[in-house]
Amino acid sequence: MLNKKSLSFRIITRVLLITATLFVLILTLYYFYARNSIQKTTREYAIQLAGNIVGKVESELKPLEKIPQLVSASIGLGFFQEDSLIRILEEIVERNPSIDGSCIAFEPYYFPDKGKYFMPYVYRHNDEINTSFLGGNEYQYFYMDWYQIPKMLNKPYWSEPYFDEGGGNMLMTTYSHPIYINRDGTPHFIGVATIDVELDKLTDYISEVKIFETGYAFMITRNGVAVTHPDKTQIMNTSIFSTSEEWNAPVMREIGRELMQGKSNFRSYNIPGRNKRWIYYTHLNSLRWSIAVVYPDDEMYASLKQMNLLLLVLIAVGLLIISLVTTGIVRRLAAPLQQFSNSAHEIAQGNFEVELPKELNSIEMQELNNAFKYMQDQLAIYIEDLKQTTSAKEKIESELRIARDIQMSMIPHSFPPFPDLPQIDLYAMLNSAKEVGGDLYDFFVLDKNKFCFAIGDVSGKGVPASLFMAVTRTLLRSIADKHKTPSAIMNVLNKSLSLNNDSCMFVTFFLGILDIETGELRYANAGHNPPLYIKKNGKVLFMDMGTSIPLGLVGDYPYSESTIKLLHGEKIFTYTDGVSEAENASHELFGEEKIHEVISKYNDADPQSMIRFMTESIDKHVDGFEQSDDITMMSINFKGNGSA
């Protein structure tokens, strides 16, 4: 699989992320737009569908209203005799197949000879027209809705539906029109004229309306009672209000109340435990009943959901293709990179002639190729240069090593130096910072009982300093042959060094001559660090030097000398500034105080040990930091002739 840090992976993930985001955005916009559009279309369709149903019901029922209306008016105007009424009713039922019965019912004793009840009734039964006269204690029609309501309200009335008594299980409704006669100029109620209408054809029509899978249309009465229902046993039993109670769904009551108020509306509703639905409801003008069409939300949007699913699959496939194509392109474009990488490895191993990738498919790769080529050429040239430089440097280094050997051979370095001089114990060391250094020390016996020693530090380092040092040391030996006091030696040495000293080099120098019989030490100093004087009682002092300048600067500078007398066992410790100025990583100097402290601590040690302790102390202070200056130390123990 792809490495997560690979170029291909990064490019593909970013491309996919952006593309997928874009797709999702477009899909979401599309979804909401389409949803809105479906809702709008559904609403329009629902209004149209409900309108059709309303139209159908109205066109069936409305014309029928004319008949009782006409009958009432005719009776009110006295056109019919009571005995001709049956004939009229028969005509009505016979001529109107949608009418299943018709009656004219009168107020008590309206026709005195007909008694309390007078209600001629004609009805269809098994396709035959039957006549009868109803009314009596067991049928007190005055109190029935179809009679009482138009009477009390003074207007026609479509009754709540009912199942016919004939046992045909047909759903009926009765339209009643009040009959008035004019008595003393005021209308006077005398009874009602009715028709019975079978509703089954209408309810079948409504029940057959199918909306998607489970959507349906229904009709309810002004009391909210179901006239049609998917479950036939609920017809005339349940109402929108009773269902609202049973399902604990107040929204149904809300809808029912809007229907009662004659409102039309398209809305959605949720009933806990049931799918969300959309409903459009409207009102029948004649019966004041209501028609509603119900759209299950999930079915309404089913096509949209399918479309979305399809789009999602397409998007997934699209993303897959994009990722494959992108991988291919990136791999092809980036292929030379691997070759460049291999070439770079080869070059690193010294094969500058390695071949670079040839099939370069982009300007960027061509540029990279040029850069590589340039690098190859430059490296070859550089390495050639380097070879020459290195060999030159190696030569110089070898010469320097020889120079160092020569330099080191110039100073005494066998200890103890004078096995036949028991009065003196001495140890010295010189540790150059570079191959050759500017520090020097020397000691030799002048005559039988005069012992001369010196330590110095040439300005600068390296070859010039070492040459100057060699000159100084050679001059010292030759001058000391002729002049026997420190000051004289110093003055002559200074004069010689100052001559033709165009490069202005100089050397700090300390020179002492010790009388090994008496312990008298005469010494002169030319700007050198003051040596330490370790007294017999263990006290350590910096020797008094006065002020002076280094040798080689001023040819006629008068150097003076001082004298102290060493007791047996007293010591002198000399050093160059490489000791006092030894640096650690934080650029802290070792310092003269520290030198004094170390010497005080080891005042009993012999010269070699003393220098070893000092070296250890410096190493500890420097802690591995690079040595920048020559370090030179010389320690002398005046033992005398052992009598002290």
Partner 1 sequence: MNMYKTTFSFILIFIAVMQALGQKPKLVFSAHWMPQAQFAGYYAAKDQGYYEEAGIEVDIIHPSASVNAVEFLATGEADVISLFLITAMQVKHKGLDVVNIAQLSQHSAIMFVAKKDSGIETIEDFDGKQVGIWLSGFDELPRAMMDKFAVEVEWVPLLSTVNLFLLGGIDVMTVMYYNEFNQIYLSGIDREELNIFFATDYGFNIPEDGLYTLRETAVNKKEELRAFVDATLRGWAFAAKNKDYVLQLVIDIMRDNRIPSNKAHQSWMLDKVLEMIDLDNKNLIPGKLHRDDFMQAFEIIRYQYDLDFQLEYNEFFKPALNLPQSN
Give 27 or 134: the residue with its C-beta nearer to partner 1. 134
Q: How far is the CB of 158 from partner 1 (least distance, A)?
A: 11
What gap in Å lies between CA 289 and CA 226, rounded to an integer?
10
Print the binding letters for residues 257-296 with partner 1: x by CB under 8 A, - otherwise.
x--x------------------------------------
Binder of partner 1 out of 173, 194, 203, 239 (CB under 8 A): 239
| Span of 42-50, 78-86, 251-259, 448-456 interacting with partner 1 by CB under 8 A | 251-259
* Distance in Å, CB of 218 to partner 1, minimum: 15
Residues 6+ apart with CB under 8 A from 264: 280, 281, 282, 283
Interaction of residue 415 with partner 1, rule CB under 8 A: no
The window from 44-52, 92-100, 233-241, 498-506 that contacts partner 1 (CB under 8 A) reads 233-241
Rounded distance, CA 124 to CA 53, Å? 27
At residue 496's C-alpha, the angle toward residues 492 and 497, to 5°, is: 115
Q: Which one of 125-133, 241-249, 454-462, 521-529 is the stretch in contact with partner 1 (CB under 8 A)?
A: 241-249
3-class SS letters over 137-200: CCECHHHCHHHHHHHHHCCCEECCCEECCCCCCCEEEEEEEEEEEEECCEEEEEEEEEEEEECH
Q: Which of 241, 295, 510, 602 binds partner 1 (CB under 8 A)?
A: 241
Q: Are strands 507-515 and 450-458 parallel, antiparallel or unpaired?
A: antiparallel
277 has which bridge partners?
Answer: 269, 296
- Please answer whether residues 156 and 65 qualify as being in contact, where contact means their C-beta atoms are separated by less than 8 angstroms: yes
Give the position of tokens 């010269």.
607
Encoded tokens for 251? 């929204």
Contact set for partner 1, span 186-225 (CB under 8 A): 222-225
Helix (H) or strand (E) holding 562: strand 562-565
Judged by CB under 8 A, the residue of 233, 349, 500, 586 near partner 1 is 233
Q: Helices (DSSP H) in 504-580: which residue ranges? A: 577-580
Answer for which of 8, 228, 243, 290 binds partner 1 (CB under 8 A) is 243
Taking the complex as a whole, the smallest distance from the CB of residue 128 to partner 1 amounts, in Å, to: 24
Taking the least distance from each CB to partner 1, the nearer of 63 and 250 is 250
For the CB of residue 238, give the shortest distance to partner 1 in the complex, in Å.
Answer: 4
Q: Which is nearer to partner 1, 221 or 494 (CB)?
A: 221
Here the tokens at position 562 are 């001082």
Q: Could you tell me how many residues of this chain bind partner 1 (CB under 8 A)?
A: 34
How many separate helices (H) and strands (E) can be counted in the chain?
A: 14, 22
What is the nearest approach in angstroms of partner 1 to the Cβ of residue 40? 30
Region 89-148 residues binding partner 1, contact defined as CB under 8 A = 137-140, 143-145, 148
Among 238, 290, 491, 574, binds partner 1 (CB under 8 A): 238
CB-based burial, 362-385: b 16+ in 10 Å, e otherwise: eeebeebbeebeeebeeeeeeeee
**Angle, CA 63 vertex, CA 62 and CA 64 arms, to 5°:** 90
Interface residue list for partner 1 (CB under 8 A): 137-140, 143-145, 148-149, 152-153, 160, 163, 222-225, 233-234, 236-246, 253, 256-257, 260
